[in-house]
Structure 1
Amino acid sequence: MTTEHVLIFVPAALLLGASPGANNLLAFVSATKAGWRPTAKGVMGRLAAWAVLVVLASLGLDVVLRTSEMAFVALKWMGVGYLVFLAWRFWRADTASDVAAPDASMLMRREFFTLLGNPKAYLLLTAFLPQFVNEAETILPQLFILGGLYIVAEGFAALIWVTAGSLVGGYALTPFRRRMINRTAAGVMGSAAVLLARSERAA
Structure 2
Amino acid sequence: MQIILSQLDAIDRYLEQHQLDFLDFKLEIKDHLATATEELMKEKEIPFEEALLLAVEPWENELQVKKYWLISNERLFPSFVIQRIKNKVAFHYGVVFIFAIIAAVLFSKYLNENQTVFKYSVGFCGSVYFLLRRLMNNKKVKTSYRFHFDYFYMPVLLVFAWFFVFQLSFVYANFIGFLVLVNFPFTIYYFVKHQQFIKKYNLK
TM-score when normalising by structure 1: 0.32
Q: Report 1 or 2 for greater relative contact order, CA contacts < 8 Å, sequence distance ≥ 6.
A: 1
Higher Cα Rg, which structure: 2
Question: Hey, which of these two has a bigger chunk of strand by percent?
Answer: 2
TM-score when normalising by structure 2: 0.32
Question: Hey, which of these two has a bigger chunk of helix by percent?
Answer: 1
